[in-house]
């Protein structure tokens, strides 16, 4: 087994645990590289069939390429797709910095969608290497009734045993690719030939490393126009992945506040 086999085996194990131990789960499909890998892993885990709904919480602000991708692969992958829309930006806390309000909108959309469908588990594609508060996450992460993450009181989690019985009213976030890195995602995408949105590949000297809402996500300068070139580029870079995401950088605790309030 090489490193990718190992990552895959662990993720498959986690997905099967989530499906076995929770009553009603959904996989959050942001259409980005990480959630595409998750969908691929789900096919592996369940031998060609994704046995739970795949949910896109849509801000309506995504790139056109992303919507095209969604329509095509929902069909091709035979997904039980749920699209839910976020409430308007005016409903969010006006004291938050501007980009954070976008995130808050998404958090609210997720909260409403979860309540509407009664999911007790939401599978998401966050990774430890993205950001320091994500590095502190559990694989099965309990969320309070309002979606609140209590970072001061996370339960112990070890030896591949997960806490899958959240208290009444609470739910779980499940993180099957928490242990992967950005480079792992690309290496696996290449090995397995997983489709991606072309925005990740360089055009006119620019490409996206991370895809969020079109109006608050900026591309990086890059000539990497194939996945191989992306892998080589990542090997040398010292620039963090989410540097193009405005919401992370508005203040020291901006992202922590978003996450404890229920953001991914």
Min dist. Cβ of residue 203 to another protein (A): 24
Residue 76 near another protein by CB under 8 A: no
Residue 10: how many CA atoms within 13 Å on its side-chain side?
A: 17
CA distances from 31 to 51, 86, 103, 168, 188 (A): 18, 16, 17, 31, 16
Stretch that binds another protein, among 1-9, 67-75, 77-85, 216-224 (CB under 8 A): 1-9
Cβ-based neighbour number of residue 112 at 10 Å: 15
153-172 binders of another protein (CB under 8 A): 154-161, 163, 165-167
Min dist. Cβ of residue 217 to another protein (A): 19
Based on CB atoms, which residue is closest to another protein, 34 or 182?
182
23-62 binders of another protein (CB under 8 A): 43-49, 51
Residue 5 near another protein by CB under 8 A: yes
Radius of gyration of the chain (CA): 18
CA distances from 146 to 92, 120, 205 (A): 15, 13, 43
Based on CB atoms, which residue is closest to another protein, 65 or 157?
157
Cβ-based neighbour number of residue 256 at 10 Å: 17
In sign, the C-alpha dihedral spanning 78, 191, 46, 82 is negative
Min dist. Cβ of residue 126 to another protein (A): 12
Based on CB atoms, which residue is closest to another protein, 10 or 59?
10
Based on CB atoms, which residue is closest to another protein, 90 or 167?
167
209-238 binders of another protein (CB under 8 A): 231, 234-238
Residue 263: exposure state from Cβ atoms within 10 A (0-12, 13-18, ≥19): buried
Cβ-based neighbour number of residue 261 at 10 Å: 19
Based on CB atoms, which residue is closest to another protein, 86 or 187?
187
Chain residues that interact with another protein, rule: CB under 8 A: 1-6, 8-10, 12-13, 16-17, 19-20, 43-49, 51, 128-136, 138, 151-152, 154-161, 163, 165-167, 181-183, 187, 231, 234-241, 252-253, 256
């Amino acid at each position: 087994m090489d490193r990718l086999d190992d990552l895959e085996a662990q993720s498959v194990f986690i997905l099967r645990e989530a499906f076995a131990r929770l009553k009603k789960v959904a996989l959050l499909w942001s259409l980005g590289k990480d959630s595409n890998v998750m969908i691929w892993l789900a096919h592996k885990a369940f031998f060609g069939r994704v046995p739970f709904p795949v949910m896109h919480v849509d801000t309506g602000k995504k790139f056109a390429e992303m919507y095209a991708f969604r329509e095509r692969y929902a069909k091709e992958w035979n997904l039980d797709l749920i699209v839910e829309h976020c409430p308007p930006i005016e409903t969010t806390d006006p004291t938050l910095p501007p980009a954070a309000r976008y995130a808050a909108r998404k958090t609210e959309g997720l909260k409403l969608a979860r309540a509407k469908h009664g999911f007790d588990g939401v599978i998401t594609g966050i990774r430890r290497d993205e950001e320091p508060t994500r590095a502190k996450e559990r694989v099965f992460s309990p969320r309070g009734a309002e979606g609140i993450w209590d970072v001061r009181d996370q339960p112990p989690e070890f030896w591949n045993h997960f806490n899958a019985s959240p208290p009444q009213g609470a739910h779980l976030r499940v993180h099957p690719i928490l242990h992967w890195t950005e480079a792992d995602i690309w290496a696996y995408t290449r090995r397995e030939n997983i489709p991606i949105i072309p925005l990740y590949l360089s055009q006119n000297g620019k490409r996206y490393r991370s895809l969020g809402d079109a109006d608050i996500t900026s591309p990086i300068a890059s000539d990497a126009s194939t996945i191989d070139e992306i892998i080589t580029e990542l090997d040398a870079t010292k620039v963090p992945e989410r540097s193009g995401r405005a919401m992370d950088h508005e203040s020291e605790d901006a992202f922590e506040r978003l996450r404890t309030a229920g953001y991914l």
